Amino acid sequence: MKTYKIEVPVQMYDGIDELNSDDRKLLEDAITAMEGSYAPYSKYHVGAAVLLENGEVFPGSNQENVAYPSGLCAERVALFAAGARYPDVAVKAIAVTADAEDFEIEGPVTPCGACRQVMAETETRHSSPVRVIMGNKKGKIYAIEKIGDLLPLMFEAEDLKKSK
Ligand code: THU
């Protein structure tokens, strides 16, 4: 048995002012998108903004439901809305942020596994890397250049072709 390590390059910023103008604008769009959050159960409001190759930005926010699994995360609301409107346009970047009613969020908001999987499909579907900006209203911000950095050893469409 051998062990190999997977290194993930994560860009770390001290705050929103340190971001370049494109990233900052997208994170601000995600902060605005939080206003649409419907989170009466978790009281955890998430906002996302998806930037397409054609320059359009799609907002998303978490939409909860009394039957909990029926709800959807902010990232997938934004990605699916963008895909439904522009199925053939690649996604350049997505920004995510959140605000909790009952506590202060300290670090960057990182997407859940299911959202990472959907981001991975978005990337392979268009053969184009998706930058992910993981923000917060204040505090450190992380960014990665492609989904593989968030989801190493991911299951991809290629893998299906190998099965008999
Ligand atoms: N949530 C998101 O919107 N995105 C994530 O990546 C993680 C979790 C939402 C789902 C639920 O409405 C609330 O945050 C608490 O889990």
Domains contained in the chain, CATH given:
11-153 (3.40.140.10)
State pTM to two decimals.
0.95
Residue identified by tokens 């299906």 is 160
**Ligand 1 atom closest to the CA of 110, numbered from 1:** 6
| Gap from CA of 46 to ligand 1 centroid (Å) | 6
Q: Which of 75, 101, 121, 158 is catalytic?
A: 75
Rounded CA separation 91/56 (Å)? 10
Tens digits of per-residue pLDDT, 121-148? 999 999 999 999 999 877 899 999 999 9
CA-nearest residue for atom 6, ligand 1, is 111
Tens digits of per-residue pLDDT, 22-81? 999 999 999 999 999 999 999 999 999 999 999 999 999 999 999 999 999 999 999 999
